[in-house]
Amino acid sequence: GFGGANAHILVEAKALSAAQIDEMLNKDKASAALQNKIGFMFTGQGSQYVEMGRKLYDNEEVFRSCIDQCATVLDPLLPVPLTGILYPKTNDQDKTKMQEMIDQTRFSQPLIFAVEYSLAQLLRSRGVTPDVVMGHSLGEYVAATVAGVMSLEDGLKLIAERARIMDDAPQNDGVMAACRLSEEEVLKGIASVGEDETRTVSVAAVNGPKSVVVSGKRGEVEAVMKALKVGGRYKL
């Protein structure tokens, strides 16, 4: 489902020169240069930085058009315009301010979505079309949009609201604990502690048969971990 780490992938790639990359992206040569199936993989939160894709925005019409299209949808939903955060004025004070803002969930998720989507559309315009798409966490929403599961407008509005809710959530006492247990085992552990002592605790993600993330207030999560008798086999 959207929002979880559903796969772990190891990718081995040989270094390519700029000339080789340009050749592969050329419309006339793309089909000949790329014989194998193509997959687009989209990253999650944490990859953001000011000036992401700046050279592409300045020099590639397709990329710039897509970023501007995303901005048209996102700007009414954000306190600061998308391009104002991504591509601030050149003075260091503005860049420092925007770097602080871009690291806030409310801004980072929509901005990463916009850049990833725009990059995918740029590659498509050069003849590089994915056979499969895959995303991690936030990237799953971009992958779904690129695959046509949802419209760009719906994807942007959904991720903007997701980011707002996450950003507004209390951060003082909330924790997540990753443990090597099944979902069934974790749910039994939560139930064994009792509803009154686990009001905020829930299964936040099921990453695998024996890889579950639990979230809630620190004391309540720790009580569940104690009930599960996992000892040190979990990480907050």
With respect to residue 3, please indicate whether it lies within any of the assigned structural domains. Answer: no
119's tokens = 């990059």
CATH code for position 102: 3.40.366.10
Per DSSP, which regions of the chain are E strands?
Answer: 39-42, 132-135, 174-179, 202-208, 211-217, 234-235
Residue 8 has a pLDDT of: 36
Q: Where are the alpha helices (DSSP H) in 138-178?
A: 138-146, 152-168
Domain termination site, one of 168, 195, 221? 168
Q: Where are the alpha helices (DSSP H) in 1-91?
A: 18-25, 27-33, 54-59, 61-74, 82-86
With respect to residue 78, please indicate whether it lies within any of the assigned structural domains. Answer: yes
- Is the domain of 135 the same as that of 221? no
List pLDDT tens digits, range 155-212. Answer: 999 999 999 998 887 666 788 888 889 999 999 999 999 888 888 899 998 988 998 9
With respect to residue 10, please indicate whether it lies within any of the assigned structural domains. Answer: no
- Is the domain of 216 the same as that of 159? no
- Is the domain of 138 the same as that of 59? yes
- Give the mean model confidence (pLDDT) for residues 40-62: 93
H/E run at residue 99? helix 92-102
The chain-wide mean pLDDT, for the chain, equals 85
List pLDDT tens digits, range 78-96. Answer: 999 999 999 987 776 677 8
Q: Decide: 126 and 26 in contact? Cβ < 8 Å.
A: yes
Domain termination site, one of 168, 202, 218? 168
pTM over 0.75: no
Reply yes or no on whether the pLDDT at 33 is more than 90: no
How many domains does the structure of the chain reveal?
A: 2
Domain termination site, one of 126, 142, 168? 168
Rounded to a whole number, what is the distance in angstroms from the first to the last CA of the chain?
23
H/E run at residue 117? helix 105-125
Distance CA 99, CA 51 (A): 9
Among 44-58, 132-146, 161-175, 191-205, the minimum mean pLDDT is found in 161-175
With respect to residue 12, please indicate whether it lies within any of the assigned structural domains. Answer: no
With respect to residue 39, please indicate whether it lies within any of the assigned structural domains. Answer: yes
Write out the residue range of the structural domain in which residue 156 sits. Answer: 18-168
- Is the domain of 158 the same as that of 202? no
